Amino acid sequence: MPEPGVVLRSARVLTPGGPRPAAVHVVGERIEAVLGHDAAVPPGVRLVELGEQALLPGLVDTHVHVNDPGRSEWEGFASATRAAAAGGVTTLVDMPLNSLPPTTTAAHLRTKQDSARGRVQIDVGFWGGAVPGNTAALRPLHRAGVFGFKCFLSPSGVEEFPPLAPAELDAALAETAAFDGLMIVHAEDPGQLAGAPEPSGGRYADFLASRPRDAEHRAVSRLIAAAERAGARVHVLHLSSGEVLPEIAAARRRGTRLTVETCPHFLTLTAEEVPDGATEFKCCPPIREAANQDALWQGLAEGWIDCVVSDHSPSTAALKTADFGTAWGGISSLQLGLPAVWTAARARGFGLADVARWMSTAPAALAGLHRKGAVEAGRDADFVVLAPERRFTVDPHRLHHRNPVTAYAGKELYGVVTQTWLRGRRILADGEFAEPTGRLLERTD
Ligand SMILES: [Zn+2]
């Protein structure tokens, strides 16, 4: 006999058809049915009454640097997945670099899986890495269950993960196209970066000048051309410059297999507000000016940007020196992405349905996580319960990130995560975590 399950009832359930009052019947790990709000609760079924709190699909964050093993003092599977759960993220896909080893062979993937196993609050998958010389390792990594491959076109920041030169990118794309794999790309052009002034010192304007928009534009142009030559599926990571959007739109109109993400910091923080020496705001590509941010929101509105994911890339506080030239580049926001994006989205007239699409449905589709990303029958019962009109002030010491360094300190944000559910179990309620029951995910076609 099937177990009776649980019903979560809310006045605002974010379904694929839009927000509506509904009762979501969960049996075991899956959503059994999305019923009318007034549907009778079957005998024996537990009712969780959420009132006016919104029920969203659990967020899917496909851009997270867990850095474990090898640089686990920067983050780690236990701390990252606690922060994720606290922020309403129920699935993350870990980036292949900054851990040691990097995820560039199937053996290295197993090392990372061994490091994660039994320690994760949420479901965790892995990207593989494409680096010079490992083209022959891509298919075995694909078979071993990675969701795709990350490469850089310019230096990555760590020497064990070098960028692909143009001919190497062509070879890697020919290989991924052969098995219809996905290549996700850090797109800044090394020549343009080399021609820009070197960053040093504490002035943000100097750092911004060292990572010009042209570098993104040139790299995305090159990537589009390479993807078209190979017939490969590619994804632009962390788009920062809105100037590239017309070219992206043109490529997509002619059928290039291209998707795009941007990040909470590009949508909510501006160059104008970065204090001198505040390297918690340093990332590559960089946070640009307010006018550029408007263009990114327009790109989301028009659908040329698919996903909003964190690019959570922490380090120890010691590596965040006051010098933009030498400080580690990366912004920590795994726990804060949802309220940060929601706060800015609601001010610009977007709804929670848009946020759920950008932060859950679209990233799930990007990675091929077919059971994730929507509140509908048959999907995993992964949810975030959000009090969308409740506000809070970001206190770094309330973050579960291993290093409480954040560009959002002191910001007042809308949207408090009150509960997080993973495959039918409540894993977080009012700040209290359940025992970790996250799973390690592998790609299935
Ligand atoms: Zn990244």
Residue 284 CA to ligand 1 center (angstroms) comes to 8
* CA of residue 90 to ligand 1 center, whole Å: 19
Asked if CATH classification 1.10.1050.10 holds for the domain at 59-367, the reply, yes or no, is no
Measure 296 CA to ligand 1 centroid, in angstroms. Answer: 18
State the Cα–Cα distance between residues 177 and 256, nearest whole angstrom.
13
* C-alpha 266 to ligand 1 mean position (Å): 13
Which of 270, 263, 309, 264 lies closest to 287, judged by CA?
A: 270
**Cα 330 to averaged position of ligand 1 atoms, centre (Å):** 8
Distance of CA 177 from the midpoint of ligand 1 (Å):
23
Architecture of domain 6-55+380-389+413-432: Roll (2.30)
Closest-CA residue to 399 (of 345, 331, 347): 331
Among 291, 157, 287, 274, which residue's Cα sits nearest to residue 211? 287
Q: For each of the chain's 445 residues, which pLDDT tens digit applies?
A: 557 799 999 999 999 999 999 999 999 999 999 999 999 998 899 999 999 999 999 999 999 999 999 999 899 999 999 999 999 999 999 999 999 999 999 999 999 999 999 999 999 999 999 999 999 999 999 999 999 999 999 999 899 999 999 999 999 999 999 999 999 999 999 999 999 999 889 999 999 999 999 999 999 999 999 999 999 999 999 999 999 999 999 999 999 999 999 999 999 999 999 999 999 999 999 999 999 999 999 999 999 999 999 999 988 888 988 899 898 889 999 999 999 999 999 999 999 999 999 999 999 999 999 999 999 999 999 999 999 999 999 999 999 998 988 999 999 999 999 999 999 999 999 889 999 999 999 998 7
pLDDT confidence of residue 253: 97
Contacts of 172 (CB under 8 A, 6+ apart): 130, 135, 138, 149, 151, 164, 183
Distance 405 CA to ligand 1 centre (A): 17
Ligand 1 center from residue 276 Cα (angstroms)? 23
* Interval between CA 17 and ligand 1 midpoint (Å): 32
Please give the pLDDT value at position 320.
Answer: 86
Q: How far is the CA of 260 from the centre of ligand 1 (A)?
A: 14
Per-residue pLDDT reduced to its tens digit, 340-354? 999 999 999 999 999
Name the nearest CA neighbour of 305 among 355, 370, 349, 259.
259
Q: Ligand 1 center to residue 363 CA distance, Å?
A: 15
Ligand 1 centroid vs 130 CA: distance in angstroms?
14
- C-alpha 248 to ligand 1 mean position (Å): 20
The alpha carbon of 240 and the centre of ligand 1 are apart by a number of angstroms equal to: 12
Output the CA 26–ligand 1 centroid distance in Å.
34
Nearest to 92 by CA among 250, 283, 310: 310
Query: Ligand 1 centre from 9 Cα, in Å?
Result: 36
Q: Where are the domains of the chain?
A: 6-55+380-389+413-432, 59-367
**Could you tell me the distance, in angstroms and rounded to a whole number, from the CA of residue 327 to the centre of ligand 1?**
16
Cα 138 to the chain's mean position, in Å?
22
The pLDDT tens digits for 245-263 are 999 999 999 999 999 999 9
- CA 21 to ligand 1 centroid distance, Å: 37
Q: Report whether 263 contacts 311 (CB < 8 A).
A: yes
pLDDT value for 317: 86
Cβ pair 299, 242 in contact under 8 A: yes
Question: So what's the pLDDT on residue 2?
Answer: 58
Task: Tell me how far the alpha carbon of residue 27 lies from the centroid of ligand 1, in angstroms.
Answer: 36
Q: What angle do CA 441, 444, 445 make, to 5 degrees?
A: 155
